[in-house]
Amino acid sequence: MDYIQTLFTSVNQVGEKIDSYKSSLNLINPGTCENLSKEVSKDILLSNYAFTGVRADVTKGFCTSPWFTVSHAFALGSQVLPPYSFSTMFGGEPLFLRGSVDNDGAVQAMLNCTWNSNVLSKVQMQLSNGAVPNMCQIEHDHKGKDFSFSFKAMNPWYEEKLTGIYIISLLQSVTPKLSLGVEALWQKPSSSIGPEEATLSYMTRYNAADWIATAHLNGSQGDVTATFWRKLSPKVEAGVECQLSPVGLNHSAALMTGPKPEGLTSVGVKYEFAQSIYRGQVDSKGRVGVYLERRLAPAITLAFSSELDHPNRNAKVGLGLSLELPGSDEMIQQQQQQLAAQTA
Protein backbone atom coordinates (compact mmCIF):
# COMPACT_ATOMS: atom_id res chain seq x y z
CA MET A 1 0.00 0.00 0.00
CA ASP A 2 2.89 2.31 0.82
CA TYR A 3 4.25 1.86 -2.69
CA ILE A 4 0.90 2.92 -4.25
CA GLN A 5 0.68 5.96 -1.95
CA THR A 6 4.25 6.93 -2.84
CA LEU A 7 3.45 6.53 -6.54
CA PHE A 8 0.36 8.77 -6.28
CA THR A 9 2.31 11.39 -4.31
CA SER A 10 5.09 11.39 -6.94
CA VAL A 11 2.59 11.72 -9.80
CA ASN A 12 0.87 14.62 -7.95
CA GLN A 13 4.20 16.35 -7.38
CA VAL A 14 5.13 16.02 -11.07
CA GLY A 15 1.70 17.38 -12.06
CA GLU A 16 2.09 20.36 -9.68
CA LYS A 17 5.58 21.07 -11.07
CA ILE A 18 4.25 21.03 -14.65
CA ASP A 19 1.36 23.33 -13.63
CA SER A 20 3.67 25.79 -11.87
CA TYR A 21 6.06 25.77 -14.86
CA LYS A 22 3.14 26.46 -17.25
CA SER A 23 1.88 29.27 -14.98
CA SER A 24 5.35 30.86 -15.06
CA LEU A 25 5.16 30.99 -18.90
CA ASN A 26 2.05 33.25 -18.77
CA LEU A 27 0.36 31.28 -21.54
CA ILE A 28 -3.01 32.39 -22.89
CA ASN A 29 -5.77 30.56 -24.74
CA PRO A 30 -4.77 30.37 -28.45
CA GLY A 31 -8.32 30.24 -29.88
CA THR A 32 -9.74 27.27 -31.72
CA CYS A 33 -8.32 25.35 -34.70
CA GLU A 34 -11.44 26.25 -36.69
CA ASN A 35 -10.69 29.95 -36.17
CA LEU A 36 -6.92 29.60 -36.75
CA SER A 37 -6.93 32.21 -39.55
CA LYS A 38 -10.31 33.81 -38.74
CA GLU A 39 -8.95 37.38 -38.99
CA VAL A 40 -8.10 36.88 -42.68
CA SER A 41 -10.33 34.10 -44.02
CA LYS A 42 -13.55 35.02 -42.22
CA ASP A 43 -13.28 38.75 -41.45
CA ILE A 44 -11.45 40.26 -44.44
CA LEU A 45 -11.65 38.02 -47.51
CA LEU A 46 -14.91 37.96 -49.44
CA SER A 47 -15.59 34.20 -49.51
CA ASN A 48 -18.17 34.57 -46.70
CA TYR A 49 -19.71 37.79 -48.01
CA ALA A 50 -19.77 37.79 -51.84
CA PHE A 51 -23.11 37.07 -53.49
CA THR A 52 -24.71 37.56 -56.90
CA GLY A 53 -28.13 38.76 -57.98
CA VAL A 54 -30.60 40.66 -55.83
CA ARG A 55 -31.20 39.80 -52.20
CA ALA A 56 -33.63 41.17 -49.61
CA ASP A 57 -33.94 40.18 -45.94
CA VAL A 58 -36.70 41.29 -43.60
CA THR A 59 -36.07 40.56 -39.92
CA LYS A 60 -38.44 41.23 -37.07
CA GLY A 61 -37.36 41.00 -33.46
CA PHE A 62 -39.89 40.11 -30.77
CA CYS A 63 -37.88 40.30 -27.57
CA THR A 64 -34.30 40.89 -26.50
CA SER A 65 -33.94 38.72 -23.40
CA PRO A 66 -34.04 36.00 -24.53
CA TRP A 67 -33.39 37.15 -28.09
CA PHE A 68 -36.08 35.97 -30.54
CA THR A 69 -36.33 36.99 -34.20
CA VAL A 70 -37.98 35.74 -37.37
CA SER A 71 -36.80 36.63 -40.88
CA HIS A 72 -37.85 36.22 -44.49
CA ALA A 73 -35.11 36.15 -47.14
CA PHE A 74 -35.70 36.59 -50.88
CA ALA A 75 -33.08 36.10 -53.60
CA LEU A 76 -33.13 36.49 -57.39
CA GLY A 77 -30.42 35.41 -59.82
CA SER A 78 -28.33 33.57 -57.23
CA GLN A 79 -27.02 30.03 -57.74
CA VAL A 80 -26.34 29.54 -54.04
CA LEU A 81 -29.20 31.23 -52.17
CA PRO A 82 -32.74 29.77 -52.45
CA PRO A 83 -35.43 32.10 -53.91
CA TYR A 84 -37.21 32.20 -50.53
CA SER A 85 -36.32 31.07 -47.02
CA PHE A 86 -37.89 31.60 -43.63
CA SER A 87 -35.73 31.46 -40.53
CA THR A 88 -36.07 31.96 -36.80
CA MET A 89 -33.47 32.61 -34.16
CA PHE A 90 -33.69 32.16 -30.40
CA GLY A 91 -30.80 33.11 -28.17
CA GLY A 92 -30.42 33.06 -24.44
CA GLU A 93 -28.37 31.44 -21.73
CA PRO A 94 -27.32 28.68 -22.21
CA LEU A 95 -29.10 27.84 -25.50
CA PHE A 96 -28.90 29.36 -28.97
CA LEU A 97 -31.20 27.91 -31.62
CA ARG A 98 -31.57 28.73 -35.30
CA GLY A 99 -33.82 27.08 -37.84
CA SER A 100 -34.66 27.77 -41.47
CA VAL A 101 -36.77 26.28 -44.23
CA ASP A 102 -36.63 27.25 -47.92
CA ASN A 103 -39.11 27.04 -50.80
CA ASP A 104 -37.84 23.53 -51.76
CA GLY A 105 -38.56 22.24 -48.26
CA ALA A 106 -34.90 22.00 -47.25
CA VAL A 107 -34.63 22.40 -43.48
CA GLN A 108 -31.55 23.56 -41.59
CA ALA A 109 -31.34 23.58 -37.81
CA MET A 110 -28.61 24.57 -35.40
CA LEU A 111 -28.40 24.24 -31.64
CA ASN A 112 -25.57 25.69 -29.54
CA CYS A 113 -25.39 24.89 -25.85
CA THR A 114 -22.93 26.83 -23.70
CA TRP A 115 -22.31 24.65 -20.62
CA ASN A 116 -19.99 27.30 -19.15
CA SER A 117 -17.62 29.98 -20.49
CA ASN A 118 -15.14 27.27 -21.59
CA VAL A 119 -17.33 24.40 -22.79
CA LEU A 120 -19.60 24.59 -25.84
CA SER A 121 -21.56 21.91 -27.71
CA LYS A 122 -23.11 22.37 -31.16
CA VAL A 123 -25.49 20.29 -33.27
CA GLN A 124 -26.25 21.12 -36.91
CA MET A 125 -28.67 19.32 -39.18
CA GLN A 126 -29.58 19.70 -42.84
CA LEU A 127 -32.49 17.76 -44.29
CA SER A 128 -33.55 18.05 -47.92
CA ASN A 129 -35.13 15.99 -50.67
CA GLY A 130 -33.06 17.56 -53.46
CA ALA A 131 -29.49 17.35 -54.71
CA VAL A 132 -27.99 18.58 -51.43
CA PRO A 133 -27.18 15.59 -49.19
CA ASN A 134 -28.63 15.30 -45.70
CA MET A 135 -26.15 16.15 -43.00
CA CYS A 136 -25.84 15.94 -39.25
CA GLN A 137 -22.88 17.41 -37.41
CA ILE A 138 -22.14 17.16 -33.71
CA GLU A 139 -19.36 19.29 -32.25
CA HIS A 140 -17.89 19.79 -28.82
CA ASP A 141 -15.35 22.53 -27.98
CA HIS A 142 -13.37 22.77 -24.76
CA LYS A 143 -11.24 25.82 -24.00
CA GLY A 144 -8.51 25.49 -21.39
CA LYS A 145 -6.30 28.19 -19.96
CA ASP A 146 -3.60 27.57 -22.59
CA PHE A 147 -5.19 25.14 -25.05
CA SER A 148 -8.33 24.42 -27.07
CA PHE A 149 -9.67 20.95 -27.78
CA SER A 150 -12.40 20.16 -30.26
CA PHE A 151 -14.23 17.01 -31.36
CA LYS A 152 -16.44 16.94 -34.44
CA ALA A 153 -18.55 14.10 -35.88
CA MET A 154 -20.19 14.46 -39.29
CA ASN A 155 -22.96 12.05 -40.23
CA PRO A 156 -22.07 9.59 -37.44
CA TRP A 157 -23.93 6.33 -37.92
CA TYR A 158 -23.66 2.67 -37.05
CA GLU A 159 -24.55 0.15 -39.77
CA GLU A 160 -22.62 -3.04 -39.01
CA LYS A 161 -19.62 -0.75 -38.46
CA LEU A 162 -19.22 2.85 -37.37
CA THR A 163 -19.38 5.24 -40.36
CA GLY A 164 -19.02 9.01 -40.80
CA ILE A 165 -16.28 11.62 -40.54
CA TYR A 166 -14.62 12.24 -37.18
CA ILE A 167 -12.22 15.11 -36.46
CA ILE A 168 -10.22 15.70 -33.29
CA SER A 169 -8.12 18.85 -32.97
CA LEU A 170 -5.89 20.39 -30.34
CA LEU A 171 -4.25 23.82 -30.32
CA GLN A 172 -1.73 24.46 -27.56
CA SER A 173 0.12 27.66 -26.63
CA VAL A 174 3.85 27.04 -26.23
CA THR A 175 4.81 30.66 -25.58
CA PRO A 176 2.52 33.68 -24.93
CA LYS A 177 2.63 34.42 -28.68
CA LEU A 178 3.22 31.07 -30.40
CA SER A 179 0.80 28.16 -30.50
CA LEU A 180 1.04 24.77 -32.22
CA GLY A 181 -1.78 22.47 -33.19
CA VAL A 182 -2.63 19.13 -34.69
CA GLU A 183 -5.83 17.83 -36.24
CA ALA A 184 -6.68 14.19 -36.94
CA LEU A 185 -9.41 13.25 -39.40
CA TRP A 186 -10.86 9.76 -39.76
CA GLN A 187 -13.28 9.19 -42.60
CA LYS A 188 -15.19 5.94 -42.77
CA PRO A 189 -17.81 5.87 -45.52
CA SER A 190 -20.18 2.93 -45.84
CA SER A 191 -18.42 0.03 -47.59
CA SER A 192 -20.30 0.57 -50.87
CA ILE A 193 -18.87 4.10 -51.34
CA GLY A 194 -15.15 3.65 -50.75
CA PRO A 195 -12.30 2.82 -48.38
CA GLU A 196 -11.64 4.51 -45.08
CA GLU A 197 -9.12 7.34 -44.85
CA ALA A 198 -7.17 8.98 -42.06
CA THR A 199 -5.20 12.22 -42.29
CA LEU A 200 -3.20 14.42 -39.96
CA SER A 201 -2.90 18.19 -40.27
CA TYR A 202 -0.46 20.46 -38.49
CA MET A 203 -0.92 24.14 -37.73
CA THR A 204 0.83 27.04 -36.08
CA ARG A 205 -0.21 30.58 -35.13
CA TYR A 206 1.96 33.51 -34.06
CA ASN A 207 0.03 36.37 -32.47
CA ALA A 208 2.08 39.56 -31.99
CA ALA A 209 -0.90 41.75 -30.97
CA ASP A 210 -0.92 44.06 -34.04
CA TRP A 211 -0.09 41.29 -36.52
CA ILE A 212 -0.88 37.57 -36.74
CA ALA A 213 0.72 34.90 -38.94
CA THR A 214 -0.64 31.38 -39.34
CA ALA A 215 0.30 28.26 -41.30
CA HIS A 216 -1.63 25.06 -41.91
CA LEU A 217 -0.23 21.87 -43.50
CA ASN A 218 -2.47 19.05 -44.62
CA GLY A 219 -0.33 15.95 -44.02
CA SER A 220 -1.86 13.59 -46.59
CA GLN A 221 -2.36 15.85 -49.64
CA GLY A 222 0.45 18.29 -48.89
CA ASP A 223 -1.79 21.37 -49.14
CA VAL A 224 -0.31 24.40 -47.40
CA THR A 225 -2.22 27.51 -46.34
CA ALA A 226 -0.42 30.53 -44.89
CA THR A 227 -1.99 33.79 -43.77
CA PHE A 228 -0.77 37.14 -42.53
CA TRP A 229 -2.97 39.78 -40.88
CA ARG A 230 -2.14 43.25 -39.66
CA LYS A 231 -4.17 46.01 -38.05
CA LEU A 232 -2.96 49.14 -39.86
CA SER A 233 -5.11 51.56 -37.85
CA PRO A 234 -8.09 51.21 -35.46
CA LYS A 235 -10.43 51.14 -38.48
CA VAL A 236 -8.28 49.48 -41.14
CA GLU A 237 -7.18 45.85 -41.31
CA ALA A 238 -5.34 44.07 -44.12
CA GLY A 239 -4.64 40.39 -44.72
CA VAL A 240 -3.04 37.96 -47.17
CA GLU A 241 -3.87 34.29 -47.68
CA CYS A 242 -1.70 31.93 -49.72
CA GLN A 243 -2.99 28.47 -50.67
CA LEU A 244 -0.63 25.98 -52.31
CA SER A 245 -1.55 22.49 -53.42
CA PRO A 246 0.52 19.87 -55.29
CA VAL A 247 -2.66 18.24 -56.68
CA GLY A 248 -4.90 21.27 -57.33
CA LEU A 249 -7.02 23.49 -55.09
CA ASN A 250 -10.26 21.91 -56.31
CA HIS A 251 -9.75 18.28 -55.29
CA SER A 252 -12.90 16.95 -56.97
CA ALA A 253 -11.87 18.57 -60.28
CA ALA A 254 -8.34 17.18 -59.85
CA LEU A 255 -9.80 13.65 -59.72
CA MET A 256 -11.31 14.19 -63.18
CA THR A 257 -8.47 16.08 -64.90
CA GLY A 258 -5.47 14.67 -63.03
CA PRO A 259 -3.26 16.32 -60.41
CA LYS A 260 -1.73 19.69 -61.27
CA PRO A 261 0.19 21.95 -58.87
CA GLU A 262 -1.80 25.07 -58.13
CA GLY A 263 -1.44 28.14 -55.97
CA LEU A 264 -3.65 31.09 -55.11
CA THR A 265 -2.84 34.19 -53.08
CA SER A 266 -5.56 36.65 -52.07
CA VAL A 267 -4.85 40.08 -50.64
CA GLY A 268 -7.67 41.87 -48.85
CA VAL A 269 -8.35 45.04 -46.91
CA LYS A 270 -11.24 45.99 -44.62
CA TYR A 271 -12.34 49.52 -43.66
CA GLU A 272 -14.78 49.71 -40.77
CA PHE A 273 -16.48 53.05 -40.20
CA ALA A 274 -19.38 54.04 -37.96
CA GLN A 275 -22.10 53.49 -40.56
CA SER A 276 -20.35 51.39 -43.20
CA ILE A 277 -17.93 48.53 -43.82
CA TYR A 278 -15.88 48.27 -47.03
CA ARG A 279 -13.99 45.15 -48.06
CA GLY A 280 -11.75 44.83 -51.11
CA GLN A 281 -9.80 41.86 -52.46
CA VAL A 282 -7.45 41.02 -55.31
CA ASP A 283 -5.92 37.61 -56.03
CA SER A 284 -2.99 36.20 -58.00
CA LYS A 285 -5.33 34.95 -60.77
CA GLY A 286 -6.36 38.53 -61.58
CA ARG A 287 -9.76 38.55 -59.87
CA VAL A 288 -10.83 41.73 -58.12
CA GLY A 289 -13.70 41.82 -55.63
CA VAL A 290 -15.41 44.38 -53.46
CA TYR A 291 -18.13 44.23 -50.81
CA LEU A 292 -19.72 47.38 -49.42
CA GLU A 293 -22.20 47.45 -46.57
CA ARG A 294 -23.81 50.71 -45.47
CA ARG A 295 -26.40 51.40 -42.79
CA LEU A 296 -28.76 53.94 -44.36
CA ALA A 297 -31.05 54.22 -41.34
CA PRO A 298 -31.15 52.42 -37.96
CA ALA A 299 -33.20 49.59 -39.52
CA ILE A 300 -32.00 49.60 -43.13
CA THR A 301 -28.72 48.20 -44.43
CA LEU A 302 -27.65 48.22 -48.07
CA ALA A 303 -25.05 45.76 -49.40
CA PHE A 304 -23.24 45.74 -52.73
CA SER A 305 -21.03 42.90 -53.92
CA SER A 306 -19.00 42.70 -57.10
CA GLU A 307 -16.32 40.47 -58.58
CA LEU A 308 -14.42 41.01 -61.81
CA ASP A 309 -12.57 38.02 -63.25
CA HIS A 310 -10.26 39.72 -65.77
CA PRO A 311 -8.57 36.64 -67.36
CA ASN A 312 -11.92 34.87 -67.94
CA ARG A 313 -13.77 38.10 -68.86
CA ASN A 314 -16.46 37.40 -66.29
CA ALA A 315 -18.25 39.68 -63.82
CA LYS A 316 -20.61 39.07 -60.92
CA VAL A 317 -22.70 41.74 -59.25
CA GLY A 318 -24.97 41.53 -56.22
CA LEU A 319 -27.24 44.01 -54.49
CA GLY A 320 -28.82 43.38 -51.10
CA LEU A 321 -31.21 45.17 -48.77
CA SER A 322 -31.79 44.25 -45.11
CA LEU A 323 -34.65 45.54 -43.00
CA GLU A 324 -34.59 45.00 -39.25
CA LEU A 325 -37.96 45.82 -37.77
CA PRO A 326 -38.06 46.27 -34.00
CA GLY A 327 -41.00 44.43 -32.45
CA SER A 328 -41.28 46.31 -29.16
CA ASP A 329 -40.61 49.75 -27.61
CA GLU A 330 -37.70 48.23 -25.71
CA MET A 331 -36.04 47.17 -28.99
CA ILE A 332 -36.64 50.61 -30.58
CA GLN A 333 -34.89 52.23 -27.59
CA GLN A 334 -32.01 49.75 -27.85
CA GLN A 335 -31.60 50.45 -31.59
CA GLN A 336 -31.55 54.22 -30.96
CA GLN A 337 -28.97 53.79 -28.19
CA GLN A 338 -26.76 51.75 -30.55
CA LEU A 339 -27.08 54.41 -33.25
CA ALA A 340 -26.22 57.17 -30.77
CA ALA A 341 -23.17 55.19 -29.58
CA GLN A 342 -21.98 54.68 -33.18
CA THR A 343 -22.31 58.33 -34.15
CA ALA A 344 -20.69 59.58 -30.91
Residue 264 touching other proteins (CB under 8 A): yes
Pick one of 12, 26, 250, 284: the residue that binds other proteins (CB under 8 A): 284
Residue 243 touching other proteins (CB under 8 A): yes
Segment contacting other proteins by CB under 8 A, of 13-21, 109-117, 137-145, 233-241: 233-241
**Closer residue to other proteins, CB minimum distance, 87 or 218:** 218
Element (H, E) at 207: strand 197-207
Q: Which residues contact 173 (CB under 8 A, 6 or more apart)?
A: 27, 28, 29, 30, 146, 147, 179
Contacts of 62-69 with CB under 8 Å at 24 or more apart are 62/327, 62/328, 63/327, 63/328, 63/330, 63/331, 64/330, 64/331, 64/334, 65/92, 66/90, 66/91, 66/92, 66/93, 67/91, 67/92
Q: What is the DSSP letter of 133?
A: P
**Closer residue to other proteins, CB minimum distance, 251 or 260:** 260
Segment contacting other proteins by CB under 8 A, of 49-57, 115-123, 146-154, 231-239: 231-239
Report the first-to-last Cα separation within the chain, whole angstroms. Answer: 70
**Closer residue to other proteins, CB minimum distance, 113 or 244:** 244
Segment contacting other proteins by CB under 8 A, of 80-88, 176-184, 198-206, 230-238: 230-238
Q: Give the Cα separation of 190 and 159 in Å (integer).
A: 8
Buried-exposed string 1-17: b where 16+ CB fall within 10 A, e elsewhere? eeeeeeeeeeeeeeeee
Pick one of 267, 289, 303, 324: the residue that binds other proteins (CB under 8 A): 267
**Closer residue to other proteins, CB minimum distance, 226 or 303:** 226
Residue 215 touching other proteins (CB under 8 A): no
Pick one of 33, 40, 45, 226: the residue that binds other proteins (CB under 8 A): 226
Contact 155, 175 (CB under 8 A): no
**Closer residue to other proteins, CB minimum distance, 36 or 75:** 36
Residue 247 touching other proteins (CB under 8 A): no
Residue 171 touching other proteins (CB under 8 A): no
Contacts with other proteins by CB under 8 A lie at 211, 226, 228, 230, 232-233, 236, 238, 240, 242-244, 260-265, 267, 269, 271, 284
